[in-house]
């Protein structure tokens, strides 16, 4: 399924390969390592993703 998703990198990405990519669906946030896009993804709910983002400075 992850091949059908639209992946995005943060605008804060430095281009050195040290970043994550995310893909949004209505029920799931998919997260992957940008250096290894074919490895399994981490999947969380939008509620969990929002809670995580709210912990960031």
Joined tokens for residue 33: 């390592």
How do residues 5-25 score in pLDDT, each as one tens digit? 999 987 777 667 678 899 999
Sort residue 39 into left (φ over 0), alpha (ψ -120 to 50) or beta: beta
pLDDT value for 1: 46
How do residues 38-57 score in pLDDT, each as one tens digit? 899 999 999 999 999 999 88
Where does the pLDDT of residue 26 fall: very low under 50, low under 70, confident under 90, or very high at 90 and above? very high
Decide which of 2 and 30 is more confident. Answer: 30
């Amino acid at each position: 399924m992850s091949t059908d998703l639209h992946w995005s990198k943060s605008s804060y990405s430095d281009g050195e390969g040290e970043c994550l990519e995310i893909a949004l669906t209505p029920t799931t946030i998919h997260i992957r390592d940008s250096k290894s896009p074919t490895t399994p993804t981490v999947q969380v709910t939008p509620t969990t993703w929002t809670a995580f983002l709210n912990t960031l400075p």
